[in-house]
Amino acid sequence: MPLFIFPLIGRFHPLIVHLPIGFILFALILMYYPRKDKNLLLPTVQFALLLSTLTAFFACITGIILYNQEGYAFDTIQNHLILGILTALTCLSLYLLVKKYQSTSNPKIHIGSAILFLSLTITGHLGGNLTHGETYLTEVLPEGVQETFGFKIQEQFEPFSIDADAWEQALFFDEVVQPILNQNCRSCHNEKNSKGDLILTSKESLLEGGKNGEVIFHKTPLESELIKRMLLPLDHEDHMPPKEKRQPVEAEVALIIAWLHAGTSFEETLGQSGISVDLVSSFFVKNETSIYPEVQLEPLEEDVFKELKGKGFFIEKLSVTFPLLKVSTINFTNAENQDLESLEPILAYITILDLSLSNVTDDIIPLIGKMENLTVLKLNETKIEGQNFEILKGNAHLIQLHLTKSMVNRDNLGKLNSHPSLQKVFAYETPLAKEINVEKLKELSFKVEVGNFELPSLPTDRMKY
């Protein structure tokens, strides 16, 4: 007999099962449909039950072949299998009883029908779960209903990350390997759903392995089934996780290999294992240290925005959730000193102020001095000379000062020397950039960019090849 016959017959199981389902239901309907003469349809009932029995057994046989050929774990199908055989047997008994009593109204027959109906329904449902997945029916329900009935068992795992400052103290297995397994393997290898009998939710289950034995080989760790499967080409049949599932990133696999390499210890920390920081660095949580001060300020009311926008100011929060503001006169280039007085109520909120191209003069500096959270100040192309720049020393968060094409000279910039926070001043095309040698600017406590870059001509510039 050709080899493909059995698998082929097995795969007809999902089709064949519908015959007994149909016949059994048909027989039951025939039994209970007639109202007066209960035995009116008796010969038909007998025939329907005979057909049900035959097809039910045939379905059982194809089912068992399918189970043998496709390598289902017994645990997963046992209920379906037992109930399926029970259905076939009940069906046979019912047929024999009906034949014996030549009636459908015997109490034994009623009990038999009830059992048959129940076992048929449950078997069918379990079979459906096997082909479509356990959540097939429930996943379409509203989330609330699912939660109430506890159908929702899908666990969500946060992407795995390591604290950059304390990575050496992190436990290699518990804080690195297990989270990677959780994220990439656990959905198919857990206590409820253990494909290939493999559970990857804990140290114990990992050591236990799956139906083909251990997945971690202690003596030759790099030959471990766990890792070999992940390294197979994506379209290889045995590649894990399956092609259509989320794939681990290279660095995650590299970390598991490193763990195996380092001796498969369950107690070691990352530091003790001696692995290079490069292996873990891509998982560091970046503690975003922004240059802006951390403040406890109530977000501003919409009205304040509206009013200032109406005056012509550009005013926007730095990010959706951060209360500090960027204010500029980009659309209000004829703004004078007194126009800026309307910013008085929000001075503490301004962290970027751009007055480039406006008509402001040195008299505006005292107002700017009151902006306690100012980090970036742009005064490009203004008449600012900086006579009173010492006031800005009070802006303890000021980091960048843009003075391109302003009127600031060396002496006035010097008033900012030893400013508590200032790091960079841009002073291209200012009197200060022209008047003195650049060396003298190096004495200042901050970096001054005077620009005037040049790209000397090269003989190749005008060459035509």
Q: What are the CA-CA distances from residue 241 to residues 51, 70, 185, 228 (Å)?
A: 44, 19, 7, 11
Cα dihedral: 24, 29, 31, 33 (round 10): 180
**Residue 122: CB minimum distance to other proteins, A:** 38
x-or-dash string of contact with other proteins, 283-322, rule CB under 8 A: ---x-x-x-x---------------------x-xxxxxxx
**Residue 311: CB minimum distance to other proteins, A:** 14
* Dihedral angle sign, alpha carbons of residues 340, 342, 346, 347: positive
Pick the closest to residue 109 from 46, 58, 19, 59 (CA basis): 46
Subset of 222-261 contacting other proteins (CB under 8 A): 249
Cβ-Cβ contacts under 8 Å for 361 (sequence gap 6 or more)? 337, 382, 383, 384
Segment near other proteins (CB under 8 A); pick from 20-28, 29-37, 41-49, 444-452 = 444-452
142 vs 310, which CB is nearer to other proteins?
A: 310
Segment near other proteins (CB under 8 A); pick from 30-38, 159-167, 328-336, 440-448 = 328-336
Residue type, 45: V
**Residue 416: CB minimum distance to other proteins, A:** 16
Q: Which residue blocks in 133-219 are alpha helix, DSSP H?
A: 143-148, 172, 178-184, 203-208
**Residue 99: CB minimum distance to other proteins, A:** 56
* Cα–Cα distance for residue pair 425/404, rounded to 1 Å: 9
**Residue 239: CB minimum distance to other proteins, A:** 19
**Residue 302: CB minimum distance to other proteins, A:** 10
Segment near other proteins (CB under 8 A); pick from 2-10, 56-64, 121-129, 443-451 = 443-451
- Helices (runs of H) and strands (runs of E) counted in the chain: 18, 9
**Residue 435: CB minimum distance to other proteins, A:** 17
98 vs 416, which CB is nearer to other proteins?
A: 416
**DSSP strand pairing (314-319 vs 322-328):** antiparallel
Cβ-Cβ contacts under 8 Å for 150 (sequence gap 6 or more)? none
**Residue 141: CB minimum distance to other proteins, A:** 21
Pick the closest to residue 47 from 70, 69, 23, 63 (CA basis): 23
Q: What backbone torsions phi and psi does residue 350 show, to the nearest 5 degrees?
A: -80, 120
Residue with tokens 């291209």: 428
- Residue 455 in contact with other proteins, rule: CB under 8 A: yes
Residue type, 133: G
**DSSP strand pairing (424-426 vs 400-402):** parallel
Question: Which of 75, 274, 294, 465 is the binder for other proteins (CB under 8 A)?
Answer: 465
140 vs 455, which CB is nearer to other proteins?
A: 455
340 vs 376, which CB is nearer to other proteins?
A: 376
Subset of 402-431 contacting other proteins (CB under 8 A): 402, 404, 424, 426, 428
Q: Do 179 and 160 contact (CB within 8 A), yes or no? A: yes
**Residue 345: CB minimum distance to other proteins, A:** 19
Question: Binding residues for other proteins, how many (CB under 8 A)?
Answer: 38
**Residue 79: CB minimum distance to other proteins, A:** 38
Segment near other proteins (CB under 8 A); pick from 150-158, 184-192, 257-265, 281-289 = 281-289
Here the tokens at position 451 are 């620009």
CA 455 to chain centre: 48
x-or-dash string of contact with other proteins, 185-214, rule CB under 8 A: ------------------------------
DSSP state of 359: -
x-or-dash string of contact with other proteins, 368-387, rule CB under 8 A: ----------x-x-------
* Cα–Cα distance for residue pair 145/394, rounded to 1 Å: 59
97 vs 368, which CB is nearer to other proteins?
A: 368
Question: Which of 55, 328, 373, 409 is the binder for other proteins (CB under 8 A)?
Answer: 328
**Max Cα–Cα distance, the chain, nearest Å:** 121
Residue with tokens 């014996």: 100
19 vs 253, which CB is nearer to other proteins?
A: 253
Here the tokens at position 391 are 């006031």
**Residue 317: CB minimum distance to other proteins, A:** 4
216 vs 300, which CB is nearer to other proteins?
A: 300
Q: Which residue blocks in 203-294 are alpha helix, DSSP H?
A: 203-208, 225-231, 250-261, 270-273, 277-281
Subset of 386-405 contacting other proteins (CB under 8 A): 400, 402, 404
Task: Quote helix, strand, coil % in the chain, to nearest 5.
Answer: 50, 10, 40
62 vs 328, which CB is nearer to other proteins?
A: 328
The footprint of other proteins (CB under 8 A) covers 249, 282, 286, 288, 290, 292, 314, 316-322, 328, 330-331, 378, 380, 400, 402, 404, 424, 426, 428, 449-455, 458, 460-461, 463-465
